Amino acid sequence: MKRIVFACAALIFLLSSCSDIGFSIRYGAKTEPVLPPQSQEIKGAPVAPPKEAVKQTEPSPVTREPEETPNVDEAIEISDESLGEGGASLIPDLSVTQGISAGGEADNSLAAFGHYISKNEERYRAFIEAYPDMALTKALALVNVNADYGYYKNITQIADPAELLVFCNKNFQLPADYIPEGLRNIAGYSIMLTDTAATAFEDMAAAVKAELGLKLIAISAYRSFDYQKALFARYAKADGEGVAETYSARAGHSEHQTGLTVDLLHMWPSTGSLRRENFQNTEQYAWMLEHAHEYGFILRYPENDVSVTGYLFEPWHWRYIGVEDATRMHEAEITTFEEYTGTFYRGTTPVTEAG
């Protein structure tokens, strides 16, 4: 009798286990849905650093720029940014890392930083209080470029759009009638950059070809104010304005209008087509992270700085700022042009002279 009871119990246990296994095999473990980049709306609140690295899923092949992808060897027809030149090397005192105490007093004066601007004192304190985990040097830099106002708030009209380091983003707007001088086609394409930027790109592309045996393929460069206006309107109609603003600029706020920015393509392995998506997985991208500064280019919208730049990760979007500043930015390990501009420049004037 005991043997019968024991056998029954074993059978019940076995059936129960099989049932659990069958559920797991059939339905799998519960996972959280992953939203595509187009659904990650960035709010217009004050800038805050992301708590974790922003992970981007593979973009949809039908979003972003719907223009036809050109053949590499054919002319590309697309009409299509930074802040003053020179300036002293104003490295802030990075030893000053204490924040603002509960009583509102700084453990060390903010004025100890090289990029401190006296008229921004109250804004610095408010921003630091809102984002206490942010390094003070970065907080001051972001306030210096009006990041504390939020996107498209308190917009500043750019007075000197022709400056090599012209700073153009969601808070700094280019004149509607601004067309850069010295635009020319990039060799082998019918898209334009300023002569200096085009030459630098051609030299960089030649270096990539020589070292990797691969091409740097340009798809978009200079865009006029009107072209950008129409492009943004098309995206806003398709995805809604809030979503469109996470990957496209309003007219006057696009770096492409400066003639200093280029978007890149790569060959899609499975189909042989030319695409921008997943450019971060290419040998060209890895090379550029290490060497682009040697030719004056910076990655403008990095993966982990979405909340600072206001744009989703764009591994294909590269901005020319000149070898000296690109190298300084690279060596200082500053990842966004917002922070670099707010640390070192205010127009053509070093920031410590702008207060």
In the predicted model, is pLDDT for residue 204 greater than 60? yes
Secondary structure (3-state) at 222: coil
Specify if 228 maps to a domain: yes
Number of structural domains found in the chain: 1
What is the mean pLDDT of the segment spanning 54-58? Answer: 35
Q: For the packed helices 283-291 and 195-212, what is the interaxial angle rounded to 10 degrees?
A: 120
Q: Give the CATH number for residue 264.
A: 3.30.1380.10
Q: Is residue 132 part of a domain?
A: no
Instruction: Say if residues 105 and 311 touch (Cβ distance below 8 Å).
Output: no
Dist CA 355 CA 353 (whole Å): 6
Residue 206, H or E segment: helix 195-212
Q: What share of the chain is helix, strand, coil (3-state, %, to 5)?
A: 40, 10, 50
pLDDT tens for each residue of 244-299: 999 999 999 999 999 999 999 876 656 565 666 789 999 999 999 999 999 999 99
Q: Are 140 and 116 in contact (CB under 8 A)?
A: yes
If one counts every other C-beta atom within 10 angstroms of the C-beta of residue 255, the result is 26
Give the whole-angstrom CA distance, residue 38 versus residue 243. Answer: 6
Provide the pLDDT for residue 109. 85
Cα gap 204→216, rounded to integer Å: 8
Cβ 263 vs Cβ 218: under 8 Å: yes
Q: What would the mean pLDDT of 73-94 be, rounded to a whole number?
A: 31
pLDDT in tens, 314-337: 999 999 999 999 999 999 999 999
CA distance 174 to 172: 7
Does residue 282 belong to any structural domain of this protein? yes
Q: Are residues 338 and 308 in contact, defined by beta-carbon separation less than 8 angstroms?
A: yes
Torsion, Cα 197 199 205 207, to 10 degrees, reads -120
Per-residue pLDDT reduced to its tens digit, 150-162: 999 989 999 999 9
CA distance 44 to 184: 36
Residue 303 included in any domain: yes
Residue at 201 is within a domain: yes
Whether pLDDT at 26 is above 80: no
Mean confidence (pLDDT) of the chain: 75
CA 53 to chain centre: 13
**Phi/psi of residue 192, nearest 5 degrees:** -115, 145
In a domain, residue 20? The reply is no
User: What is the DSSP code string of 113-139?
Assistant: STT--GGGHHHHHHHHHH-TTS-HHHH
What pLDDT is recorded for position 277?
73
Residue 70's nearest CA partner among 275, 284, 262 is: 275
Q: Which domain holds residue 311?
A: 150-353
Q: Give the C-alpha distances (Å, rounded to integers) separating 56 from 49, 266, 278, 303, 337.
A: 16, 18, 10, 8, 21
pLDDT for 7 beyond 70: no
Q: Is residue 74 part of a domain?
A: no
- pTM (2 d.p.): 0.71
User: Does residue 101 sit within a domain?
Assistant: no
- Residue-wise burial string across 144-178, b where 16 or more C-beta atoms lie within 10 A, e elsewhere: bbbbbbbbeeebeebeebebbbbbbbbbbbbeeeb
